[in-house]
Amino acid sequence: MCNVRLSWKIKWNNALLGKTKDFVFLDRIKYFLRDDLNMEYLKENDHHTTDDRGQIKYYDIVVDGKVYKNGAWSYMDYQTYSKDYSNYIAFDEDVYMST
């Protein structure tokens, strides 16, 4: 038996936002490790919300002068006994993700 971990690519506006095998699911949404993302495309903005897990910060995705407002987000301090989610970023459904 062979376990193969697929590499995921995250793209928007023809730019490669990241490529990784390291992601986690939280509420059926993929969260990708920040170190595997091209953070030069993600600009933290002033929008913040709060849910039962804590504060969420948002990022605009900026590629070639085009802006996807609040296209990505991350929990600021959410941790469980096994995972620190503050190092992971999720993307809106209009951001293309593929293997």
pLDDT value for 55: 95
Q: Residue 36: give the domain boundaries.
A: 8-94
For the chain, how many structural domains are there in total? 1
Evaluate the CA torsion angle 40, 44, 50, 53 in order and state its sign.
positive
User: Does residue 99 fall inside a structural domain?
Assistant: no
- What is the rounded average pLDDT of the residues 74-92? 88
Please report, for the domain that includes residue 33, its CATH number: 2.170.150.40
User: Does residue 22 fall inside a structural domain?
Assistant: yes
Task: Give pLDDT tens digits for 23-80.
Answer: 888 888 999 999 999 999 999 999 999 999 999 999 999 999 999 999 999 999 888 7
pTM of the entire predicted model: 0.89
User: Does residue 59 fall inside a structural domain?
Assistant: yes
Nearest residue to 41 via CA among 62, 55, 23: 62
Based on DSSP, count helices (H) and strands (E) in the chain, helices before strands.
0, 9
